[in-house]
Structures are given as structure tokens and as C-alpha cells.
Amino acid sequence: GSPARRDDFSGSEDVDMDTEDDVDIEGGHARPDTGDSDDGPVDEWGDDLMGDHKDRRHLASLPEIERERILAERQERRDVLNEQRELRLKLKAGVRVSGGDQRATRARRGNREAQGGSLSELRRERERRRHGEDQWSSSLSDEDAGSGHEAEPAASLEEINMVCLPRNQLEQWLFRPFLADAIKGCFVRIVTRIKDSTGEYNQYKMMEVMRIVRGEGRSQPPYHLNKTLTDKYLKLRFGPAEKDYSMETISNSPIKPEEYSSWEAAFRAAGIRTRVTAEHVQKKLHDLERARNYQLSDAEITEMISERNRLRRMEAGAGADAALERTQLLQLHTVARQNGDWAELKKLEARLAELD
């Protein structure tokens, strides 16, 4: 039979990301493709983490804490990209990661935290209200509202968006050992393609990350998340329903108020009492900070390289299978045309179009 298609597992058919999804979560500008080059800047921001005049005007119009949050997130992403570049260069040169490299990385992150300013103070204040938990946090449970959580303050949408994972961040962490633990209980904004009597349009939803599922052995094919091949899917929850989604359907933009309202309404409609508490958000902020400060061991770097190579071999094998199938289809196409079998010809051409 024909191979499985990604659309079968991404929550909708023919997902078509519109231009909104390519808008940066931080400043409302499309991110240029910086590519995989190890030369030149790693992002589009200047030394002060700001972009063009439009971006500067936008930042200047924001409250100070929101502006500091955006600049801190940009710095965090820049640090990740710089570390990835350093790792690539070291691996190409066959250099092992040394203790001195790790101390330098910690020092850079210390500078980044200092730049976070009032955002860091907000996080420390929330941290003081926690109870010393040092484990990865679990996902939001349906029993939250029935176990004393009514007295806890609900998180604001601004706070929820601080643990909303953009597609680009997930790509950076795809092969990291902490991925499954760090993202469980966070939120994402996904896009699906809707068809109804009014036409076709994109629909965005807020969803909670339940866990990672692997495509291997589940008939779910590998796919490219931006430029990175993966066979990992996310089990996401919207109301009582859980479904597997490919990460390519995840937006880089923040959750909007109407999407948050729809998420809450889905639980109410199912008679489930749950909400996102400020404590839950703080726990996930703690998890994400641990993830950003995670120090890879030599064994973990070796495992990451092995995983990438496994996927490359899988992709190469799939390419060879597709080439063979295309050759066979072209032969059948010639026979069908000679015999005037137009129905068969139409089927063959549709399959050839899928392979292209």
C-alpha cells in the first residue's frame, strides 16, 4: 500500500500555515532564514537585541516588564544558537566538551539572567512561594481544581505565554535528553486547516503538551520540523480529547485571548473542572530554566549524534524506496496510456503527484 502521510497524524488535512505563523513571537516581524552557516550573526537582532525602527517603536510602546521579557527571551534564544554553533564546530573538529567550556557557558547564562532585569525578579518572587520542589513538573491534571487549587490564583494569559513553546524552540531541543520532561505540562499554539460552508481557513488552538510519542512502530512517518528531521510527535490535549500532532503544526506566535477562552470552554463543556494556576506556570518556568542551563555529557552528545544519523539513514532509505516506486509507476503509466485506460491513468498520475 501507499506510505503513510503526515496529514494523517497532524490533526487536520492539508494544513497550510499562513503568514501569521511566521511572525516572531517577540516583535511581530518575520524571521529571516539564517541557515546552518557557522559564519555571521545567528539571528536578525542587533547587539542591543533590537531590530529595525518598527521593532524599536514596538518595544518602546510596551510596559517595561513586557519589554524586558522579550529582550530576555531573545537573549536566551541567541545563547542557544551560539551554543549550538560552538557544539557543531567542536564536533566537526573532534574536540571534546571540557569543563572550561561548561564554566564559560554558565558565565554567559549568568549575564543573560542579569539582563532579564525585572522579569528575573518576578520569577524569584514566584519561586519564593514554591515549596522547594526539585523534580520535573508533571502536566496539569483534571483533579487540580478539586484538590485545593480553588484557593490558588489563576495564571494570566501573559504568564501562560511564558510557558508556551514556539516551534523554533522545540526544533532546538529535539535531540536533547531533557525534552520529554521539560515540555510536559507546557502549552503550544497549533494551527489546523478547516473546511466548512464558508470556505477554507486556518484555525488556531491552545493545547497542553501531555507527552512525546515516537512515530517508529506507529505508522507515523518522519517529517521535517523546519530543517530538522524527526519522528517525534506530541500528544496534545484540548478539553478531554487527546491527539497526536506533528510539531510542524505549532506556531511561533503567542496564544491569543480568544484561543485561551476556547481552551477553557472545551473543559467546561465536558464537565471538567480545571484551570492553569500561577503555581503550575511557575513550576514549568523552573523546568524550562533547568533545561536551558542543562549541561550535556560526552555520552549524551554521542547519543544525539547517533539519533541524527539514524534519522538520516531512515530518510535516505525512504528516498530510495520513493525513487523505485516512481520508476514502477511511470512504467504502469505508459502501459495505461497505450491501452487507453484513463481511470487507471488518473490514479497513477495522482500517486506520482504525491511522490513529487
The predicted pLDDT at position 15 comes to 45
Element (H, E) at 34: none
Predicted pLDDT of residue 226: 87
How do residues 122-159 score in pLDDT, each as one tens digit? 444 444 444 444 456 555 644 444 444 456 788 999 99
Phi, psi torsion values for 50, nearest 5 degrees: -120, 160
C-alpha 259: how far from chain center: 18
Longest dimension (CA), the chain: 78
- Looking from the CA of 29 toward its CB, the CA atoms found within 13 Å total 17
User: What pLDDT, on the 0 to 100 scale, is given for residue 324?
Assistant: 64
Nearest to 24 by CA among 34, 36, 38: 34
Tell me: pLDDT of 299 over 60. yes
Residues 6+ apart with CB under 8 A from 339: none
Mean pLDDT, residues 288-308 = 88
For β-strands 187-196 and 199-214, DSSP reports them as antiparallel
Output b/e per residue, 89-102; b: 16+ Cβ within 10 A. eeeeeeeebeeebe
Give the mean pLDDT of 214-226.
72
Which amino acid is present at 249?
T
Percent of residues, the chain, with pLDDT higher than 70: 67
pLDDT at 333 > cutoff 90? no
CB 243 within 8 A of CB 236: yes
pLDDT for residue 126: 44
Q: What is the mean pLDDT of the chain?
A: 75
Residue 156 one-letter amino acid: S
The identity of residue 254, as a single letter, is P
- Compute CA distances 99 → 85, 173, 175, whole Å: 18, 22, 22
- The 10 Å Cβ neighbour count of residue 333 is 17
Nearest-angstrom CA–CA distance, 71 and 116: 7
pLDDT of residue 247: 94
Position with higher pLDDT, 301 vs 111: 301
Joined together, the cell numbers standing for residue 47 give 547587539
Work out the burial of residue 132: count CB atoms within 10 Å of its CB; fewer than 13 is exposed, 13-18 middle, 19 or more buried. exposed
Residue 60 to residues 64, 137, 147, Cα–Cα distance (Å): 8, 35, 42
Degrees (nearest 5) of the Cα angle 273, 238, 167?
Answer: 130
pLDDT score at 305: 85
Plot region of 222 (φ>0 → left; ψ -120 to 50 → alpha; else → beta): beta
Identify the three-state secondary structure at position 11. Answer: coil
Q: How far apart are CA 72 and CA 214, in angstroms?
A: 32
* β-sheet bridge partners, residue 154: 277
